[in-house]
Amino acid sequence: SGGNYSQEDQKRLMRAGELMSKYRKLKDRMGVSDFVQKIVDEIAYIPFLLSTENGTQKALNIYKLLDQIASFEKTGVKTLGDLVEQLDTIQNGNVKEGQAQASSEEDDVVTITTVHGSKGLQFPVVFLPDLEASFPHSSDNFKYDSKKGIGFRISKQQSTEYDPLFWLLRAQDKRKNLAERRRLFYVAMTRAKDHLFFVGARESKKDGLKSPKKRTWLEYLFETVGIENSEDSTTVEFAGLNFPIKIDLPEVEPYRSLSEEKGYSKVIEYTEENIAPIMKESKPVSITPTKLLKYLKCSWKYALEELHGIEEPELKKEKEDSKDILATGKLFGRVAHKLFSEMDYQATNDDSLIDEVISAEGVRGNKAGEFRTELQDIAARFRETELFKDVLSLDGSEVKREEDFFIEFQSVLIEGTIDLICNSEGKRTLIDYKTDDFTQNDIETKVERYKPQLMLYAKAVKNITGEYPDRTLLYFTKTNEFKEISVSDESILQVEKHLLDLFEDYKKNDFKKNADACGSCGYYKEYCDGV
């Protein structure tokens, strides 16, 4: 019973239960850092955080936590229990951990920061821009000093008068601010390890360039170092050292209008053609057989959904009920798989089980009746197949259903769920159910499409048992047909090649569009113009 929960909440609770069950099975098969990383990826926690207030900092904190867990592993933290103990120790010791930094001085990135924010850091190359900007000046109407008192600026109709104390306190603030500005300039300059670029603009005049504006860092630089307007290079002595300085004075006006040069449109055009998402890893952390099929059908679609996290829009077709048909097909597939996973092979019929699985998925009304009729027909026909009579229904048969597997290939976790594995009389049979609605003429196309998925299942069985299945079967419920897939080392190598192709495209961020897939793709026209 769903109690007071809505159908949507019931589905969410069921999904949460499924994930918890899955993670319980997985927790002892993976390193603790990989395990936590997998959960973060699967529940799309980072995209969720980025959608919240201060999301970037929150996401960076999670990445920092993942890095710390990886470092804990090197010191003996091997299980979730070990990790909890480690975190408890840190918490009980009142150890304060700072926020994650967006980047460090060792990162091969361009960092934009304030002078205050750069204190304590150094970089190979530093640019100090906008040096011609005037220092901010105070427009306060009064000045206060704890020892001297308060001075006021008094506005009249034609002029502004100041009392003597205001003049004194104002001059005092100017001296303090100028000294602080010079200290900041020193901090900014000393951030550079190898090269330091001063960037500023001066107005032109007939016989050259005007001197820098007053109360600017550029003026302070010229006065302190002793740079002359006409020089293009010089060597100055400063703090007992000789510094070579090259001066580049461009002939163009420093603030030429970009709109006149159509600069904005050029920048936008270049960005659209060349921008690419920042890839955190050179390979996906994990992949499933279903994701591989998606990649093989259209790698561009795979990238949109799996890498960028863009949910596929519903298909827009001429018939208003087409969306409902698509949703109904997915729902029926879930119900049918649940029926097969819980079917009692010794029972005479499946009516009560069918009612249970339909209710569990929240199917009601006329749709429930339609599902019931079709599921009863599918179950009855399945019980009449030779495989059911000769293998599954035998007392000595060992049957595993909804068997989760986790194998590693090229440092990437491959995970999935095999519908059915049966051991009978020393023979191992692997079965995958397909509830697709298609015509008889399309069946061979379907078989070819699903082959890579079955190859990964067979590879998983061999990794676990040491041998490939004796039989690997696709069972199409609509047509009540079994199609046997031939498994060999060569066919496994072919699916491994598909995986390597995916990894290479992932690394290069080079995903191709497949025009043949556009007709059944919800991204078409919304996020993709096709081929």
Arithmetic mean of pLDDT, 110-135: 82
Is there a single domain that holds both residue 382 and residue 514?
yes
Residue 182 lies in a domain: yes
Query: Above 80 in pLDDT, residue 376?
Result: yes
Residue 180 reports pLDDT greater than 90: no
Phi, psi of 49 (to 5 degrees): -60, -40
Higher pLDDT, 354 or 392: 354
Same domain, 317 and 401: yes
Can you tell me the mean pLDDT for 73-97? Answer: 74
Which of 298, 287, 321 is closest to 521 using CA atoms?
Answer: 298
Q: pLDDT tens for residues 470-490?
A: 999 999 998 899 999 999 999
Q: Which two tokens stand for residue 483?
A: 């199609």
85 and 153 share one domain: no
Q: At what angle do helices 351-360 and 365-383 cross, to 10 degrees?
A: 140
We report the CATH number of the domain holding residue 386 as 3.90.320
- Nearest by Cα to 145 from 124, 169, 129: 169
pLDDT of residue 99: 55
- How many other C-beta atoms are found inside a 10 Å radius of the C-beta of residue 167? 13
Instruction: Assess if residue 271 is contained within a domain.
Output: no
pLDDT tens-place string over residues 280-323 = 556 777 889 999 999 999 988 888 888 777 777 765 443 334 44
pLDDT in tens, 383-421: 999 888 887 777 767 888 888 888 888 888 898 999 999
What pLDDT score does 476 carry?
Answer: 93
Q: Is there a single domain that holds both residue 319 and residue 240?
A: no
143 — pLDDT class (breaks 50, 70, 90): confident
Neighbours of 296 (CB within 10 A): 19
d(CA 339, CA 31) in angstroms, rounded, equals 34
Is 460 contained in some domain? yes
CA–chain centroid gap for 371, Å, is 38
Q: State the pLDDT confidence band at 347, using cuts at 50, 70 and 90.
A: confident
Q: Mind listing the pLDDT tens digit for each residue in 25-84? A: 888 888 888 889 888 888 888 888 887 887 777 888 888 888 888 888 887 888 888 888
Length of the chain: 531
- Predicted local confidence at residue 271, as pLDDT: 47
Same domain for 480 and 402: yes
172 and 250: one domain?
yes
Say whether both 299 and 438 belong to one domain. yes
Residue 254 reports pLDDT greater than 80: no
Query: Percentage of residues in the chain with pLDDT exceeding 70?
Result: 76
Using the CB atoms, write b or e for 230-251: b if 16+ within 10 Å.
eeeeeeeeeeeeeeebeeeeee
Position 171: which residue type? Answer: A
Question: Rounded to an integer, what distance in angstroms lies between the CA atom of residue 97 and that of residue 394?
Answer: 61
- The candidate with the shortest Cα–Cα distance to 521, out of 263, 316, 218, is 316
Spatial distance between the Cα atoms of 371 and 484, rounded to a whole number of angstroms: 28
For Cα atoms 21, 341, 488, give the angle at the middle one, nearest 5 degrees: 95
375 and 394 in contact (C-beta within 8 Å)?
no
User: Would you say residue 1 lies in a domain?
Assistant: no
| Encoded tokens for 484 | 């046997």
Number of domains in the chain: 3
pLDDT, averaged across the chain: 78
Residue at 23 is within a domain: yes
If asked whether residues 15 and 129 sit together in one domain, one would say: no
Instruction: Give residues with Cβ within 8 angstroms of 531, minimum separation 6.
Output: 513, 514, 515, 518
Range in 23-37, 65-79, 84-98, 331-345 the model is least confident about? 84-98
In a domain, 349, yes or no: no
Q: What is this structure's pTM?
A: 0.50
The mean per-residue pLDDT over the stretch 181-188 comes to 84
Does 98 reside within a domain?
no
- Flag whether 499 is in a domain: yes
Tokens representing 203 are 């107005």
Among candidates 19, 20, 24, 29, which has minimal Cα distance to 414? 29
pLDDT recorded at residue 21: 85
Q: Which of the four pLDDT bands, split at 50, 70 and 90, describes residue 231?
A: low
- Show the domain range for 147: 116-259
